[in-house]
Amino acid sequence: MSRNLLDLKPDAATALVRQWGAQQKLPAYRAAQLQRRLWQVPVRSWREATELPLALREHMDREWPLSRLHAEAVQQSADGTRKYLWRLEDGEAVESVLIPSGKRLTLCISSQAGCALGCVFCATGRMGFRRNLSAWEIAAQIREIVLEDPASKPTNIVFMGMGEPLLNWPAVDVALSILNDPAGFGIGARHITVSTVGILPGMAELAKRPEQFRLAVSLHAPSAEARLRLMPIQKKYRLDEVLQAATPFRRRLTFEYVLIAGANDSDGDADRLAKLAHRLDAHVNLLPLHPGGAPGLTPTSGERIRSFAARLRHQGVEAVVRRSRGLDIAAACGQLFVQLEQKRRRLTLETT
């Protein structure tokens, strides 16, 4: 029997609590009180759930303890972006970024510690792969923020942090239910986006789910040849196969496209990208290469980005230029981890 209720889908957690409550001869309404304290109105430990009898709270803390992430570092940007480095129970670490925009609060979350894919423009890829996150570790990135300040509960979630979500599908599948279920965080499916480089088996599994989750394909080049230079995954999952697998997400699909000077930002690239976007009714997010996130690569100039976007729009493609956020706090995914690990190694060397 699982002892970590936070690692279960809400319906499974509720069923388990009800079963256990019946065995303990608790009133039936206690199961609902316990369940709402997992995600809807979370508590740090059961002793904070003062609507429950003290003896029950003490028993729950012993038998069903609530797992936590430790916020090792929290950085606040001048533009309101907030970055978290979460230390996991085994010493690994992952990052989340909370981005305010009007009434929207978007949280970018991680699904793996590190990443095995090695995209040349990504700081996380230089870390290598450490391990998959469990479902509770994914969902806890939201839970910990709500515990800190309920008013900071995200309105939107994007799986665009560290790792490739669809290489960790079993845990991501559970986490999606926790995020979306009214008995979980109750975030609308169309406010939850899963980003992938194009992991075909995972895309097929995500497409089977009945909820209208959004899909973002990390495209970054409009041809197989150009994509291979940026993304080694092209060797295993070809661009044409990825686009075919994305077909069920038509009108819920975004192409993510990091602009890199001389690599994927020509007029011809824009024209080819427009054709792909039309094929799947996708809109395009144009992302400036984050300074410091990819040594050896040159960001496309602001003027060129505007010209590239205008060329897409002229061909009827919805294209949005996403401005870089958190430049003063190294908000490119993986940068904070890399910086702190380098500092840790320097301190270790100095004391040995």
**Per-residue pLDDT tens over the stretch 299-352:** 999 999 999 999 999 999 999 998 766 555 454 555 555 555 544 444 444 455
38 shares its domain with 108: no
Structure tokens at 151: 């008013």
**Short-list 216, 157, 214, CA closest to 190:** 214
The count of structural domains within the chain is 2
The predicted structure's pLDDT at residue 125: 77
Confirm whether 54 is domain-assigned.
Answer: yes
124 shares its domain with 86: yes
16 shares its domain with 103: no
What are 255's strand-pairing partners? 217, 284
241 shares its domain with 257: yes
254 shares its domain with 289: yes
Confirm whether 134 is domain-assigned.
Answer: yes
**Which position among 95, 137, 144, 256 bears the catalytic label?**
95
Distance (Å, whole) CA 235 – CA 50: 55
37 shares its domain with 79: no
**Short-list 229, 209, 233, 213, CA closest to 221:** 229
39 shares its domain with 169: no
286 shares its domain with 154: yes
Confirm whether 113 is domain-assigned.
Answer: yes
Say what the pTM is: 0.91
φ, ψ of residue 20 to 5 degrees: the values are -65, -40
Confirm whether 1 is domain-assigned.
Answer: no
**Helix, strand, coil percent values for the chain (each to nearest 5):** 45, 20, 40
φ, ψ of residue 77 to 5 degrees: the values are -85, 160
Confirm whether 263 is domain-assigned.
Answer: yes
**Short-list 117, 147, 135, 256, CA closest to 193:** 256
Told to judge if 333 belongs to the known catalytic residues of this protein, a careful annotator would answer yes
Last residue of a domain, one of 38, 63, 88: 63
Distance (Å, whole) CA 179 – CA 10: 10
141 shares its domain with 216: yes
Distance (Å, whole) CA 334 – CA 338: 6
57 shares its domain with 74: no
Read off the amino acid at residue 335: Q
Residue 284 is part of which domain span? 70-342
The predicted structure's pLDDT at residue 201: 98
- Residue that has been written with the tokens 């075909």 in this structure: 200
Confirm whether 154 is domain-assigned.
Answer: yes
The predicted structure's pLDDT at residue 82: 95
**Short-list 321, 206, 171, CA closest to 257:** 321
59 shares its domain with 74: no
Task: Let me know the angle formed at the C-alpha of 316 by 314 and 322, rounded to the nearest 5 degrees.
Answer: 80
Ranges of the chain whose pLDDT falls below 50: 1-2, 329, 331, 342-350
Half-sphere exposure of 205 (CA within 13 A, CB side): 18
Q: What is the DSSP letter of 294?
A: S
**Which position among 115, 119, 122, 333 bears the catalytic label?**
333
46 shares its domain with 110: no
User: What's CA 339's distance to the chain center, in Å?
Assistant: 20
Confirm whether 349 is domain-assigned.
Answer: no
Cβ within 8 Å of residue 214, ≥6 positions away: 189, 190, 192, 193, 194, 249, 252, 253, 254
Confirm whether 350 is domain-assigned.
Answer: no
Strand ranges inside 80-218, DSSP E: 82-87, 93-101, 104-108, 112-114, 129-132, 156-159, 192-196, 214-218
φ, ψ of residue 143 to 5 degrees: the values are -60, -45
**Short-list 295, 259, 260, CA closest to 126:** 295
Neighbours of 88 (CB within 10 A): 19
CATH number at residue 117: 3.20.20.70
